Structure 1
């Protein structure tokens, strides 16, 4: 590889040298200007880390502005220069005792932001002093610093008593100190997963007193804390609500929403209805005021109001007009206003919804028509008016309006059976307007449900059946059921011809298992017991209700406790989308106890492996041990890697199984293969139909359903080798870690369960962090999918050069143990943040031994597309430059493997001629044996 000097060197050769001289200047003004230049370069992304010693030398200054600049530089580069960062410790300690409180606070804040383990110990003593400082500004800064320290070292925070000091600060005389202590304790409680913030009646009084005096963000922290207080005593709830009520008038919308959250929580404890009504009257105007803000704030307010009115619709029942849409409202605001209007629906709203259904915005019109239907379903007194409005909209002959009207009328028929069937003729006159699957499916359902009232029902269904193979699955399912309903209600010759046509098409010409299974059920019912078919297909249907967007009560309660956060905007509990790392503190002796228990429970090699997996998971999750696998991991009477189990009793003859392939001996320790016998399942023959029975359509019940369509993932285990069990899957990257995604289908005659997975030694030491394949019990003909997380296990690192070979064993309780060999793609173990800067690449390339090269057959026409393809494989293009005099392009590529005791950096140089076949790849790494895997990954990414 060329050394890359032309790309990585700077054009300003003397710039760094000049800055060093200026930083060492005796002129204070010149020195400050030099630091400003360094910060400016750092801000635009230039690497100025080589100036670290020169910048740090300027820390000891009385110029506050210069000190702030130097501290800013330190925060940015301390991680990349941890050894040099130690130089700054003495100055930090000295500054934390400076007479100026601003400098003391600045010092402790900066030390908290420098996330370097070597400095953490030095932070403790200055932090302890600052937590008890005379100046409240220093104390409030130190309180936040405790939360930052906990994120780095939870054990240190507990051992040094910082949590107790924070709790003491809740009684501080300064309201901002109280607010920051609350914020820090809340953050630590969320990170650690343990309750560290306990509000006593005395603390409650202090918080309520501080609420009126601290800043708006301090008020938010305190209000969020109060929302979590146990208000079991109605008197406490009343007291808190009365003290919080003035916050509803605050100019900051975050304070208003947090106050609403506290009052909603208090309402659940108070039983006095008059008091609740009085609070509701006070809460309504602030919520309405939020709708006069900019559209983005309106949207957030509307999402929160949506939750509030689900719990207490009476709170805004007299404020419906404020939710009327304005002509200049963005679409997302209009949609949310419409959703709230539906929840506050009354007969007076319907005409307003009719106007919205005649707007020009198609999405909004569709939503408005759906809203009319939902009002009809949820509000019986308005149903008649809604039907009339829908008929007026159908008369407009606007395609998408008619289709939405048909969809909602189907729901109205379900809600009010035998009441509005007179409008069916109008719907049938508009069949030519239907081209969307949902509208077609709704119309077909109406025709089938009221086939006896529609004279030409068979002709209408026959028109739909002409395009049966091209229709979507929902339409096909509705056509199948509607045709059966028609045949049961009007068994004419045309209906019999149609039922034969649709059953034949649904069982032999489709690969949709739902459609095929339903067709076989109908076929058997019609062929054996027509009366039973009528009882099943024409059974009375339960009355529906409008629960399209309603939330489960427990979910709603959870979201109401998170008002003012992203959870209330997404309308999903925070733990469903926040993957924040939990740092539950685990001491070494506790971890050893867990390991000891595993070894005692299972003295096999698998027990030790499980304990090792617990250690690995704990170290990879920032100190938190993984949940201990249940002792049920005991496989076949022993561990997957242990000895063979005891033979099965004579009554249960084991099924024959092929011996494992060569090279897999160590995977299961020579385990004897066996399994539970396949229980004989005799299907009861169906009664023979009467010869003259008009329901004997095709001469009897069908034989057996054809096999389900194969999944798209590669086949790992075929049905023949798997005794009826088929497995598809691959190793993929999922959530920043490798996982084995598997899809299983049980084609055997017996149910299968107890699926456990194990991997043999491999190039990267990957092993299941939990051997259970979570698909439950698969009954015959059923399938399931699961992703098994993989983690690094030192005991699983294969000796010799790295290969992509992956040997796998799958155990089941009934069918025995199966083996297969799969490929382990390199991108599945590459880190998402595997890039480095140019100087590191160049120095690493020069320091590594001889490169390995290979020519690939790929053709690259678009460099940008090639970069994107490599990036998708987590091979990051660091630089791209033309090679002088050759007409070629050079790409410098890097990737990193974090599996193992130390990260492994991969360095590659690709040389190619655009549009011409052939890519020359040079590879260097601390593990040169990875070269074949790297070449294969590049070839697949570039399509070669």
Structure 2
């Protein structure tokens, strides 16, 4: 900002000619705030702005305080000049000015101003006007970030706790928000609610704004039911929030109800609650794609713990032509999870249709889902294989490759049942250029080397490029060649020495080299032992391996409607100094179905 412009604004600020209503000052302040917002340096005007602080016009005070928030940290000595005006404004008869003063002092984290803030803040927390009280509550949380010891020593935490019983629901919501924030950042302060406080918070829900409701619902996660019926009663009172128009309120209500289910004793109550969760989750899927995606990622967690939720709502997860790819992929995963013997035909029909779309990622996922369905539901395996064979006939490169990858899993799951299709697979060897698909096809050739007449020729073709292939393909070729030799010694006797020599002498990968040495020694020392090792029974394959670890699932269910539930990662992996959340033991905590109930936070100091 050039000096001339600053001088011009200074002159306008100090001019009092015929400006009894301070209109000129208001106009100048608007210019200064506009320049400040655009990044122009207005700090040279600091002394002049301090002089304007005494103007008793609320709109001008707001702009002055905005200016102070922006520049006070950079000019702490100048900011101290404003202290007398702050102290005067805190006593102003207008509650808006009192609140504005306390809010601004909370933002300006300059040592001297913070020291002067203590008494006015204590006074404002007990102010007769609810707007001042709720502003003061948030100010405590801001002050805690700057000086934790002061907040604890001055007993502001206790004053916030007292505000939980305030007759004004907005004050309650802000006190809850402040206490939650402090609790999550503190090592020795833990927010704990008893049944009486929890009931008061739920009663305040009806009168709060949507964000106030979200804060209160979030705080209810700190209530641990101690007696039978407590969790059921609270969940019933929260259930009406599931019909709210705001998606944050809905998802946070879902989180609290899912949490409370861990403390319900009767299966009937849990089933009843699960039925109430389905319609609001379905409603979220009619929102915009971003909200849909958040809902879908959370639904994926919920149905892993409570499969009865959304069990009969498969159709809402069918993909629409105009869904963004990230929504389509999330829906596919849920369709697979909800698929059962009684609805698999419906799902399979959809997946076959998706496999003919133009989006490559979506098609791949659809083809893979068909294979996973075959592994998951035995009665549908034959129909799934027929669908995969139809797709292979399209000769679309990436479709064929995905199909071969999943057919390998089907062969492992159902040995000696569907090998008649191997001939069709072998017709498509020329289409394979992706490592995973090549490795899957090579596994099939090795596994069924005694049934495929020209298995030695097929493997020899793959071996031309052995040294250039990725490691997963090299490992597959090494094992497949040894299987060929064990099953058909005459056909494999020329290939095995060649491959073992490459694997042990010409590659750098230690896994490949070690496996080569083991095979070589087995074959040369004891062919019978080699056969027992290489052709041993494969581990059982199932889609259960897709399930999330129980401990991680428990943790993520306590973080529904947060980034953790979208990433499907523990907050500890992306938030520094994160305070872990666990299910806290109580006499009514259900022992079955959850994994992390024994892991809980150590007793914290209550304040």
TM-score of the alignment, normalized to the shorter chain, above 0.5: yes
Aligned to 2:188: 194
Structure 1 residue 579: Cα displacement: 2.1
Are residues 1:507 and 2:504 paired?
Answer: yes
Structure 1 residue 117: Cα displacement: 2.5
Structure 1 residue 438: Cα displacement: 0.5
Give 1:454-493 correspondences, 5 Å limit.
454-492=452-490
Aligned to 2:12: 22
How far, CA to CA, are the matches of 2:509 and 2:129 in structure 1? 72
How far, CA to CA, are the matches of 2:514 and 2:210 in structure 1? 61
| 2:195/2:230 contact within 8 Å kept | no
Q: How many residues align?
A: 571
Give a deviation string over 1:430-475, Cα, whole Å, max 9, x none. 1111111110000011111111111111111100000101111110
Structure 1 residue 549: Cα displacement: 4.2
Q: Which residue of the other structure, out of 12, 33, 36, is the alignment partner of 1:42? A: 36
Q: Which has the higher contact order (CA 8 A, sep 6+)?
A: 2
Structure 1 residue 113: Cα displacement: 1.0
Are residues 1:335 and 2:329 paired?
Answer: yes
| 1:167/1:197 contact within 8 Å kept | no
Give a deviation string over 1:26-79, Cα, whole Å, max 9, x none. 132222222111111111111111111111211112110000001001111111
Aligned to 2:241: 247
Structure 1 residue 285: Cα displacement: 0.9
Q: SS of 1:47's equivalent?
A: coil
Q: Which residue of the other structure, out of 221, 224, 243, is the alignment partner of 2:218? A: 224
Q: Which residue of the other structure, out of 403, 406, 422, is the alignment partner of 2:404? A: 406
Structure 1: tracts of 5 or more residues without a match: 1-9, 583-944
Aligned to 1:540: 537
Are residues 1:54 and 2:48 paired?
Answer: yes
Query: Do the aligned partners of residues 30 and 214 (structure 1) sit closer, same or farther apart at CA in structure 2, a change above 3 Å counting?
Result: same
Q: Which residue of the other structure, out of 118, 122, 132, is the alignment partner of 2:112? A: 118
- Larger strand percent: 1
Structure 1 residue 234: Cα displacement: 3.5
Aligned to 2:155: 161
Aligned to 1:149: 143
| 1:447/1:482 contact within 8 Å kept | yes
Give a deviation string over 1:801-855, Cα, whole Å, max 9, x none. xxxxxxxxxxxxxxxxxxxxxxxxxxxxxxxxxxxxxxxxxxxxxxxxxxxxxxx
Q: SS of 2:543's equivalent?
A: coil
Give a deviation string over 1:204-227, Cα, whole Å, max 9, x none. 221121122111111111111213
Give a deviation string over 1:85-111, Cα, whole Å, max 9, x none. 111111111111111111111111111
TM-score w.r.t. the length of structure 2 is 0.92
How far, CA to CA, are the matches of 2:106 and 2:542 in structure 1? 55
Give 1:170-319 correspondences, 5 Å limit.
170-319=164-313
How far, CA to CA, are the matches of 1:436 and 1:465 in structure 2? 15
Structure 1 residue 274: Cα displacement: 2.5
Aligned to 1:418: 416
Q: Which residue of the other structure, out of 564, 568, 576, is the alignment partner of 1:567? A: 564
Structure 1 residue 547: Cα displacement: 4.3
Structure 1 residue 488: Cα displacement: 1.3
How far, CA to CA, are the matches of 1:229 and 1:581 in structure 2? 20
Are residues 1:578 and 2:572 paired?
Answer: no
Give a deviation string over 1:239-271, Cα, whole Å, max 9, x none. 111100100110001000011111112222223
Structure 1 residue 426: Cα displacement: 1.0
Give a deviation string over 1:647-686, Cα, whole Å, max 9, x none. xxxxxxxxxxxxxxxxxxxxxxxxxxxxxxxxxxxxxxxx
Structure 2: tracts of 5 or more residues without a match: 580-607
Q: SS of 1:507's equivalent?
A: helix
How far, CA to CA, are the matches of 2:47 and 2:517 in structure 1? 79
How far, CA to CA, are the matches of 1:538 and 1:581 in structure 2? 48
How far, CA to CA, are the matches of 2:549 and 2:335 in structure 1? 20
Give a deviation string over 1:325-344, Cα, whole Å, max 9, x none. 11111111111111110101
TM-score w.r.t. the length of structure 1 is 0.59
Q: SS of 1:451's equivalent?
A: coil
Query: Do the aligned partners of residues 177 and 390 (structure 1) sit closer, same or farther apart at CA in structure 2, a change above 3 Å counting?
Result: same
Are residues 1:98 and 2:92 paired?
Answer: yes
| 2:413/2:542 contact within 8 Å kept | yes
- Aligned-pair RMSD on alpha carbons? 1.4
- Larger helix percent: 2
Give a deviation string over 1:510-558, Cα, whole Å, max 9, x none. 1112111211121222222222222221110111111464211111111
Give a deviation string over 1:99-149, Cα, whole Å, max 9, x none. 111111111111111122232111111110000111111111111111100
How far, CA to CA, are the matches of 2:578 and 2:11 in structure 1? 44
How far, CA to CA, are the matches of 1:123 and 1:283 in structure 2? 46
Q: Which has the larger radius of gyration?
A: 1
Structure 1 residue 273: Cα displacement: 2.5
